[in-house]
Structure 1
Amino acid sequence: METLRRAFHYLANLEWTERVQNTCVFCDRANFASIVYEDDDIISIDNRRLAGQFHWLIIPKSHHVRDVEALDIHHLPLLQAMDRVKRTLLAHNCPDLPLSDVHAGYHRGRRPLFGSVHYPDIVSIHHLHLHVIVRPYLSMWLFKYPPWLPFMWKSDATVLKCVTRGKHGIS
């Protein structure tokens, strides 16, 4: 019952207007719980709130893109680098894991539905970041990272495919 209450609370408190964040917690390394990977362009950290056995956030260091709605073909190398980091983390931490046990993707930003009506702004931190969740907990998979609800979540494979095809925005 507590899980349902928390899920309802989360959905009921989505941002229906576009928020503006003046500071970015991902731009200050002091905010990171633990760094699990780093190179010149990408940093990956353990998420503070686990949604599965492992839950990593893969974050670009210098490309301050708000969310997947702002991506275009110019961001393809960045997305490919983030995908390489995902595969590296999986190979290092759970090499025998079937890909069906991995849930990876992005929360969606605010974008028009029709006229002046918009989808809610799901993004909690306005700095592009990829969630990689190994063996997600059912309640989190269903309600916070729902593959079945495209207005809230877009898989990394789908985002990569859309950007590769040159689509502006990831509608």
Structure 2
Amino acid sequence: METIQRVFRYVANLEWTEKVQRTCIFCDRANFANIVYEDEDIIAIENIRLAGQSHWLILPKTHTIRDIEALNGDHLKTLQAMDRVKKHLLSQYCAGVPRSAVLSGYHRGRRPLVGTIYYPDIISIHHLHLHVIVRPKWVWRLIKYPSWLPLMWKSDARVMREVQRLGL
């Protein structure tokens, strides 16, 4: 019963109307309890709400991209840098874990459906961030990170291919 209530709360709190965040918690380093990687451009943190054995958020340090809906060919280098960090974290912390046990991708942002009707804004923080989840819990994989439902979630590999095409 508790799982059903959590799912209902999640769906009820999706951003069905356009919402602009005035402050970004990812832009303030004081909000990061556990930084697992950092370089000049990218930072990776342990998510405070683990959806699996490990759950990292990888994001650019600069807040220039709201979500994947705003990506274009100029953002390819940023995505490639985020992908390199993902591979580094997996090799450092989860070397023996098969790739099939890793879920990585992005929640979808607000985008038009028909006319002035929009899909809901799935992202909770309007600062581009990649989720990397090792051995995800089945309920979260099914509901919050559904690879089978592209209306809510898009794999990082698919986003990379789409942005590469835009850059051609």
TM-score above 0.5, yes or no: yes
What is the identity, as a one-letter code, of the residue corresponding to 1:36?
Answer: V
What is the identity, as a one-letter code, of the residue corresponding to 2:129?
Answer: H
Q: CA-to-partner distance for each residue in 1:43-91, whole Å, 9 max, x for gaps?
A: 0000000000000000101252000000000000000000000000000
**SS of residue in 1 equivalent to 2:104:** strand
Indicate whether 1:89 and 2:89 are aligned: yes
Alignment partners' CA distance in 2, 1:22 and 1:103: 30
**SS of residue in 2 equivalent to 1:9:** helix
Q: CA deviation at 1:8?
A: 1.8
Q: CA deviation at 1:115?
A: 1.2
Alignment partners' CA distance in 1, 2:150 and 2:68: 12
Alignment partners' CA distance in 1, 2:18 and 2:148: 23
State the identity %.
66
TM-score normalized by the length of structure 1: 0.95
**Root mean square deviation of aligned Cα:** 1.0
Could you say which residue in structure 1 is the equivalent of 2:142?
142
Alignment partners' CA distance in 1, 2:5 and 2:51: 17
**SS of residue in 2 equivalent to 1:165:** helix
What is the identity, as a one-letter code, of the residue corresponding to 1:69?
Answer: E
Could you say which residue in structure 2 is the equivalent of 1:42?
42
**SS of residue in 1 equivalent to 2:162:** helix
Could you say which residue in structure 2 is the equivalent of 1:112?
112
Could you say which residue in structure 1 is the equivalent of 2:12?
12
**SS of residue in 1 equivalent to 2:166:** coil
Alignment partners' CA distance in 2, 1:90 and 1:142: 22
CA contact (8 A) 2:27 2:63 kept: no
What is the identity, as a one-letter code, of the residue corresponding to 2:56?
Answer: W
Alignment partners' CA distance in 1, 2:9 and 2:24: 24
CA contact (8 A) 2:67 2:128 kept: yes
Q: Which runs of 5+ in 2 are unaligned?
A: none
Alignment partners' CA distance in 1, 2:44 and 2:165: 27
What is the identity, as a one-letter code, of the residue corresponding to 1:6?
Answer: R
- How many equivalent pairs are there? 167
